[in-house]
Amino acid sequence: MHPAPRLRLFTQHSALFLFPLLASLAAAPPASGEACTYAMQQDVPAAMRDGVILRSNVFTPNEPGSYPVILLRLPYNKDVAQTYVYASPGFYASHCYIVVAQDMRGQYKSDGFFYTFIDETNDGYDTIEWAAGLPKSNGKVGMYGFSYPGAAQLLPASVQPPHLVTIVPAMTSSDYHDGWTYEGGALDQSFAEDWPMTTIANSHVRRYPDGAAIDAVMNQAVADEFTKWYWFLPLKDFPPLFPNDQRVAPYFYDWLKHPDNDAYWQRWSLRTRYGQIKVPALHFDGWYDIFIDGALENFNGLRHGAGSRFARDNQQLVVGPWLHIPWMQKVGQIDFGPQAANPIDTLQLRWFDRWLKGIQNGADHDPKVRIFVMGANRWRSAETWPLPGTKYRKLYFHSGGNANSVHGDGWLSADKPEDVGDGEAATDAFTYDPTDPVPSIGGRFQASVPGGPYDQRPLLGRPDVLVYTTAPLKKGVEVTGPITVTLYAASSARDTDFVAKLDDVYPDGTSMLIEYGVQRARYRDSETHPTLIQPGLTYRYNIHVWPTSNLFKAGHRIRIEISSSNFPMYDRNPNTGHAFAQDAVLQIADQTIFHDEDHPSSVTLPIVEDGQDD
């Protein structure tokens, strides 16, 4: 890799600047300086409003006085308390906080039945108010946790528990249909099947007399995912989660029964709850997280629509280059350097000191947005997302009619297709065979697929992957923000998928995956009201390639890949047009991509340009 070109520190049109995040934190005023010893109580019971008992580990400072409470609610074992990314509860207790780590209902030591999302609003509210009344509590409660525990902060925050002061939701989404279970109408299959089998379902069933046997079945299924279970059809009968046993994972089969974003999902969506949230929040995420799109939406939703001016003014966002887990400087095949080390405990302690202890440490005056620019491997700061001064530029698809594979003749340029001829064709075509899908290599975290930036060259010899690439860049181009691929396409099927990937092509030919997105044809106009397509007709598809921040260096090239699968990241569309999850039979689809004057297929990139020095 070539060294990054020198970036100007300021632009004429915005107050953007680059800085190392950890260095900025080191220069900030220190935490309170308090140090406490503490005692831990295990399995402390708390009764929810319906009488179900949930149990917590409670860490309480020994020294006299009253202290704020930090609460972590999780389905992943309170005794571990997500210490694979956070410091231990004892670390925060030693800084003079009462820390509560609670098993959610139906998980580990807590009673009741676990069903995703359904109890998190009320159980969260009840636990917050219970924690506020613990011995030595001063009544101020903050929350932290990532992934599902992020949802377990935002959902109760929307019903305004009186003693909740602030939250730090990490690696979590805004909607539990769109961007959690489905994307562009396609099922996030590897996540949807693997998540219950490796965590929430197998930990729940262990309480049953036959739980060990059920757990063993799931563990073996995880070992056989790639050779057997990801290929299993129909999805509705997926055996490892016991479709006929309502004790195990009934929510999984309910997800499959609700492929539309209907009332089943909308009752939990945060998109309709922003106006009910009135607390400061520090949103923490990573470019290769499965929930990054929703995390950015949460930040903007609360920055502009929270229920009070105070809350709107006190939303902050930190996005690094990380996966969902772990949060390390090496992500996929790239080491982003020490500036990408996990900063969460320093950030979080500073945030809690400001809002729970009232320490004037300047945390509330930090930039609203701090993001890591991959390629440059530096932190950039701003006051809004997308960044001020972002310009959206189109690159159009072109070819001689054979863009199939990296050996084809596709290219990208800023020139809009006009006269077809003289070596330029109006279309490219490929065949999508769902029995031979394009494999997932890298990308957003999937528990079963290595995540992060990975070289896509093992896939680029396939004839069912169209490849469009710019000429080598004469100067660096920073792409930071949301990305859209506009695709004009026809299919022989009644329903099918289109997948778009954005790659950074190095001078040595490495084609590093940056981001991607998918669009299921029947959901092209609405994720709530699907409509099938007519075979042979041309439709416009707007593929939402999820946001990123990457500097494409001088000498590198920008590449777009187009295919109809990314498996097992997404489920394979069987091309039948039948009801979702019912098919055990797969059909081949012939796909045609248009790029002529009337059908200018393109990618729209958010460009952050250098300006004149101030």
Query: Residue 4 above 80 pLDDT?
Result: no
Domain boundary among 266, 282, 304: 266
Per-residue pLDDT reduced to its tens digit, 191-217: 999 999 999 999 999 999 999 999 999
Q: In this structure, are 229 and 315 located in the same domain? A: no
DSSP alpha helix (H) spans, 409-558? none
**Average predicted confidence (pLDDT) for the chain:** 94
Q: What does the pLDDT look like over 587-598, one tens digit per residue?
A: 999 999 999 999
Residue 397 within any structural domain of the chain: yes
Residue 598's CB is within 10 A of a number of other CB atoms, namely 9
5, pLDDT greater than 60: no
158 vs 606: CA distance, rounded Å: 32
Q: Which position has the token pair 């996540």?
A: 191
Whether residue 610 is predicted with pLDDT greater than 80 in this model: the reply is: no
H or E stretch covering 336: none
Question: Which of 131, 132, 106 is closest to 120 using CA atoms?
Answer: 106
Confidence of residue 15 (pLDDT cuts 50, 70, 90): very low
For residue 394, which of 368, 413, 381, 375 has the smallest C-alpha distance?
Answer: 413
CATH number at residue 190: 1.10.3020.10
Tokens of 109: 């030591």
Structure tokens given for 74: 């999780």
In a domain, 55, yes or no: yes
The pLDDT tens digits of the residues spanning 53-64 come to 999 999 999 999
The confidence score (pLDDT) of residue 609 equals 87
What's the pLDDT score for residue 418?
83
Does any domain span residue 369?
no
Residues near 144 by Cβ (< 8 Å), separated by ≥ 6? 70, 71, 72, 86, 153, 167, 168, 170, 348
289 part of the active site: yes
- Find the domain containing 320 and state its range: 17-176+268-363+376-382
Q: Phi and psi for 263 in degrees, rounded to 5?
A: -65, -30
Evaluate if residue 24 carries a pLDDT over 80: no
Query: Do both 108 and 145 map to the same domain?
Result: yes
Out of 350, 382, 414, pick the residue that ends a domain.
382
Which listed residue (103, 175, 260, 289) is catalytic?
Answer: 289
Domain of 33, CATH number, reads 3.40.50.1820
Annotation says 204 is catalytic: no
- Catalytic hit among 177, 204, 283, 324: 324
Q: Provide the 3-class DSSP secondary structure of residue 68.
A: strand
Whether residue 169 sits in one domain with residue 32: yes
Question: Do 58 and 152 fall within a single domain?
Answer: yes
Q: Supply the pLDDT for residue 421.
A: 66
Contact 446, 440 (CB under 8 A): yes
Considering the domain architecture, whether residues 279 and 357 belong to the same structural domain is answered as: yes
* Alpha-carbon torsion angle 233, 536, 430, 576, nearest 10: 0
Looking at the DSSP bridge assignments, the partners of residue 516 are 501
E strand segments, 402-535: 411-413, 427-432, 466-469, 477-491, 497-505, 511-520
Q: Based on the domain organization, do 314 and 442 belong to the same domain? A: no
- The secondary element (H helix, E strand) that includes residue 92 is helix 89-94
Residue type, 104: M
Among 7-16, 483-492, 566-575, which stretch is predicted with the lowest mean pLDDT?
A: 7-16
Kindly state whether residues 257 and 284 are assigned to the same domain: no
Q: Are 491 and 548 contained in the same domain? A: yes
The per-residue pLDDT for range 77-112, each reduced to its tens digit, is 999 999 999 999 999 999 999 999 999 999 999 999
Does residue 13 have a pLDDT over 50? no
Strands (DSSP E) contained in 229-353 are: 281-288, 315-323, 330-331, 334-335
User: Which band of pLDDT confidence, cut at 50, 70 and 90, is reported for residue 522?
Assistant: very high
State the Cα–Cα distance between residues 19 and 368, nearest whole angstrom.
14
pLDDT of 14 > 90? The answer is no
Reply yes or no on whether 529 is catalytic.
Answer: no
Rounded-to-5 percentages of helix, strand, coil across the chain: 20, 30, 45
Q: What is the pLDDT of residues 442-462, one digit of tens each?
A: 999 777 788 999 999 999 999
Residue 611 confidence (pLDDT) above 90: no
Looking at residue 493, what is its pLDDT? 98
β-pairing verdict for 164-170 and 137-146: parallel
**Residue 405 is assigned to a structural domain of this protein:** yes
Query: Are both 399 and 515 inside the same structural domain?
Result: yes
Quick check: 17 pLDDT over 70?
no
C-alpha 172/C-alpha 149 separation (Å) is: 8
Which of 56, 110, 137, 147 is catalytic? The answer is: 147
Task: Report yes or no: 463 and 430 within 8 Å, Cβ to Cβ.
Answer: yes
What's the average model confidence in pLDDT over 373-392?
98
Instruction: Identify whether residues 262 and 280 lie together within a single domain.
Output: no
The answer, yes or no, to whether residue 6 has pLDDT greater than 60, is no
**Nearest C-alpha neighbor of 141 from the set 84, 67, 86:** 67
Are 143 and 257 in a shared domain? no
Pairing, β 281-288 against β 164-170 = parallel
Is residue 26 predicted with pLDDT exceeding 80?
no
In a domain, 128, yes or no: yes
CATH for 398: 2.60.120.260
426 within domain boundaries:
yes
Tell me: do 345 and 253 sit in the same domain: no
Asked whether 48 and 54 are in contact (CB, 8 A), the reply is yes
Asked if residue 85 lies in contact with residue 284, where contact means CB atoms within 8 angstroms, the answer is no
Is 1 inside a domain boundary? no
Could you write out the DSSP letters of every residue in 366-381? S-SEEEEEBTTTEEEE
Number of structural domains the chain divides into: 3
Q: Indicate whether 29 pLDDT > 80.
A: no
pLDDT digits (tens, 9 = 90+) for 528-570: 999 999 999 999 999 999 999 999 999 999 999 999 999 999 9
Radius of gyration, CA atoms only, the chain: 25
Residues in the chain: 614
Model confidence at 12, pLDDT cuts 50, 70, 90, reads very low
Q: How much of the chain, in percent, has pLDDT values that exceed 90?
A: 92
**pLDDT single digits (tens) 469-513:** 999 999 999 999 999 999 999 999 999 999 999 999 999 999 999
Is residue 195 within 8 A of residue 324, CB to CB? The reply is no
Q: Which residues pair with 606 in a beta bridge?
A: 392
Whether the pLDDT of residue 310 is over 80: the answer is: yes
Mean pLDDT to the nearest integer, 236-250 = 98
Evaluate if residue 284 carries a pLDDT over 80: yes
Indicate whether 69 belongs to any domain: yes
Of 266, 289, 317, the domain-final residue: 266
